[in-house]
């Protein structure tokens, strides 16, 4: 009879891993480090080895993490897309090499070492040299069709280079990673910090979340990158070279982006030397790298060695330990965000970490401080999560001094003194004062930003002056600014003052969705704002809407907007100061341009379009904008509610599904005829 303790622990581990898989693969928002996650899976694998009768066929140790999301068409890989076994140990890497030598009965093996990119795994397919499909790994067998989003990646060619020395197979799947550079990640976080929004944790999470946006125009605003390095299905199979090194050369000859640093190695010493060299180089690379991948170079020998249910037996990932450093926690300060969230920040004795000097680190929230028992004066261990944002990992209790006392989280806003609150179901502690100066600054900066009203001249420095002078306490105050007051802000500011006032006046007739986005309603981004603008047509109608406008008989009334978002919107306007803001904006002459303004843009009202394939003269974004301007909606997936599928060259699975469901399929010319 099995020991009940291992059985109980194995059940706990399966539940914990499932929870973390959901956060990592589907929500792109993990709450533990990769190392901590790997340790959970290793513990479960060890218990399964010791207790084989308790091991389950569908154990997370035997399958690939599933990254599929709602809203995307699923596509079956022609050849399984697997994950990699990994190690943090040089000895285990040597044992991996020794195992291959034993199995193949030879010691003259060549290995290929390349950086392990910390991004989202993807498979791109070219047929007769043209890009036809991009699919995420999914569960290894089926993934999400993200072709529309992948086409926004500037370095991904729509057609392979046929002028090089490498011949192009009829069909070839090439595997790689979509990622975000550290520079782009920092740019986006700097914008969010200026708007008082929560910062993204690391480039990998942001890249994965961006790829899974249903609105390709949002994806295009963020500079995603891609590298390609692996083989998938090929037709004819004899078309590809027989070594990993040669395949890399072909990928480059086809004009595809690939990793610049790679090594050939002929022994365990060579492999570990290459890994050590990469470890030295990785902080200077543009892309986030969390390890090295070691592959058997011969593709023929790869086939001989084979694979397990989830990973090739001829490859192993060596993962780098996240850099950590001990330092003194000098203080804990509280930042106030646009929504009033009080966010704790650790002020540290400066310390060198991953090539930079770190003096501040995130503490996330009140619960996190209490859980880790972090106190001012403690010696703390700091880690760079994703090598970007420093975070306090734990306290060195052996070095704790008697005078270190538990941190008392503020019960009032540190800026305006208003009593803080914590809403039911939320982790954040908030300042409820809508006129708190910090909140006002960040709300106005968001409202005027390029992503919202795009009011030129109303940047962070100008907003700070307006709030400091008490001329702007709420968004509507922008429309009451006086020229004489603005002229007092400095010398020779007449022209800039006139330009700013003109820009503010012009914003009164901006598109409705920009106003909705600019209001800063929780959970409502640009894509949702466009949906709301199409449905409600005015700020007043949106402000007066009830939950029945969003959810009826437990079903979403508006595609893409469910109960959570509906509650956020109605809750926002239920607050008196927000309802008053709408009244004041309308009173001052704000008259947003609705999607159906002037009798135009009504012909596609209530109709849903899906775009697939390459159109002759329009990009996907251009076609989507034309449809939306005509009152229609563009969706990423085909369903029975789809009105038309607009198909171009190399249309994929969406076309097949449309034909199966009987959805009408049209081409670009027919779309233009409908618009005319």
Angle separating helix axes 437-448 and 460-468, nearest 10 degrees: 140
What does each C-alpha distance from 43 to 10, 11, 18 come to in angstroms?
Answer: 9, 12, 14
Q: Which of 41, 116, 295, 657 is catalytic?
A: 116
Residue 399 annotated in active site? no
Three-class DSSP category at 264: strand
CA nearest to 231, candidates 308, 129, 126:
126
Compute the distance between CA of residue 529 and CA of residue 511 in angstroms, rounded to an integer.
10
Give the H or E element holding residue 612.
Answer: strand 608-612
Who contacts 206 (Cβ-Cβ below 8 Å, separation ≥6)? Answer: 28, 180, 185, 188, 200, 222
200 touches 222 (CB < 8 A): no
Compute the distance between CA of residue 124 and CA of residue 192 in angstroms, rounded to an integer.
32
Determine how many CB atoms are found less than 10 A away from the CB of residue 415: 17
Compute the distance between CA of residue 333 and CA of residue 342 in angstroms, rounded to an integer.
10
Give the H or E element holding residue 177.
Answer: strand 171-180
Compute the distance between CA of residue 41 and CA of residue 668 in angstroms, rounded to an integer.
50
245 touches 177 (CB < 8 A): no
Quickly list DSSP for 333-389: EEEE-TT-BEEEEEEEEEEEETTEEEEEEE---HHHHHHHT--TT-EEEEEEETTTE
The residues carrying an active-site annotation are 116
């Amino acid at each position: 009879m099995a020991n009940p303790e291992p059985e109980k622990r194995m059940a706990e581990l399966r539940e914990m891993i499932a929870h973390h898989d959901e956060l990592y693969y589907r929500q792109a928002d993990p709450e533990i480090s990769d190392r901590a996650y790997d340790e959970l899976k290793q513990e479960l694998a060890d218990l399964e080895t010791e207790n084989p009768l308790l091991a389950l066929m569908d154990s997370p140790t035997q399958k690939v993490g599933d990254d599929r999301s709602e809203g995307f068409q699923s596509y079956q890989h022609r050849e399984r897309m697997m994950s990699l076994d990994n190690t943090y140990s040089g000895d285990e890497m040597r044992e991996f090499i020794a195992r291959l030598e034993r199995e193949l009965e030879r010691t003259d093996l060549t290995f290929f070492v390349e950086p392990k990119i910390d991004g989202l795994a993807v498979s791109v397919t070219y047929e007769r040299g043209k890009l036809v499909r991009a699919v995420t790994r999914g569960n290894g067998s089926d993934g999400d069709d993200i072709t529309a989003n992948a086409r926004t990646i500037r370095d991904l060619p729509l057609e392979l280079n046929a002028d090089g020395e490498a011949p192009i197979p009829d069909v070839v799947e090439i595997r790689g990673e979509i990622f975000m550079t550290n520079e782009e990640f920092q740019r986006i976080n700097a914008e969010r910090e200026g708007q008082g929004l929560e910062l993204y944790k690391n480039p990998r999470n942001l890249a994965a979340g961006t790829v899974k946006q249903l609105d390709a125009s949002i994806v295009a605003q963020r500079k995603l990158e891609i590298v390609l390095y692996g083989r998938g299905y090929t037709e004819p199979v004899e078309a590809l070279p027989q070594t990993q090194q040669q395949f890399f050369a072909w990928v480059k000859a086809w004009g595809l982006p690939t990793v610049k640093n790679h090594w050939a190695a002929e022994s365990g010493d060579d492999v570990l030397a290459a890994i050590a060299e990469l470890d030295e180089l990785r902080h200077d690379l543009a892309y986030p790298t969390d390890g090295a991948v070691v592959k058997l170079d011969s593709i023929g020998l790869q086939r001989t060695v084979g694979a397990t249910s989830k990973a090739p037996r001829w490859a192993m990932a060596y993962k780098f330990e996240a850099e950590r450093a001990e330092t003194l926690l000098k203080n804990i300060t509280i930042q106030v965000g646009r929504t009033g969230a009080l966010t704790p920040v650790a002020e540290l004795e400066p310390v060198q970490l991953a090539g930079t000097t770190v003096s501040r680190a995130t503490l996330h929230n009140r619960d996190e401080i209490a859980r880790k028992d972090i106190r001012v004066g403690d010696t703390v261990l700091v880690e760079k999560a994703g090598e970007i944002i420093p975070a306090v990992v734990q306290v060195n209790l052996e070095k704790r001094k008697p005078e270190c006392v538990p941190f008392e989280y503020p019960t009032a806003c540190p800026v305006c003194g208003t009593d803080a609150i914590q809403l039911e179901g939320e982790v954040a502690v908030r300042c409820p004062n809508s006129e708190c100066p910090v909140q006002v600054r960040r709300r106005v900066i968001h409202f005027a930003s390029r992503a919202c009203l795009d009011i030129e001249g109303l940047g962070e420095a100008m907003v700070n002056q307006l709030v400091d002078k008490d001329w702007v306490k709420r968004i509507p105050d922008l429309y009451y600014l006086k020229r004489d007051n603005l002229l007092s802000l400095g010398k020779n500011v007449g022209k800039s003052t006139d330009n700013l006032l003109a820009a503010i006046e012009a914003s009164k007739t901006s598109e409705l969705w920009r106003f909705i986005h600019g209001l800063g309603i929780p959970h409502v981004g640009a894509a949702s704002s466009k949906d709301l603008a199409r449905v409600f047509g005015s700020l007043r109608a949106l402000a007066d809407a009830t939950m029945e406008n969003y959810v009826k008989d437990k079903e979403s009334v508006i595609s893409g907007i469910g109960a959570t978002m509906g509650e956020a919107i109605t809750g926002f306007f239920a607050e008196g100061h927000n309802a008053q803001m709408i009244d004041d904006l309308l009173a001052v002459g704000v008259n947003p341009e609705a999607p159906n303004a002037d009798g135009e843009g009504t012909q596609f009202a209530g109709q849903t379009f899906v775009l697939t394939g390459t159109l002759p003269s329009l990009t996907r974004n251009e076609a989507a904008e034309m449809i939306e301007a005509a009152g229609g909606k563009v969706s990423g997936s085909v369903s029975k509610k789809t009105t038309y599928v607009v198909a171009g060259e190399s249309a994929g699975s969406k076309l097949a599904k449309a034909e199966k469901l009987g959805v009408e399929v049209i081409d670009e010319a027919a779309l233009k005829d409908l618009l005319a």
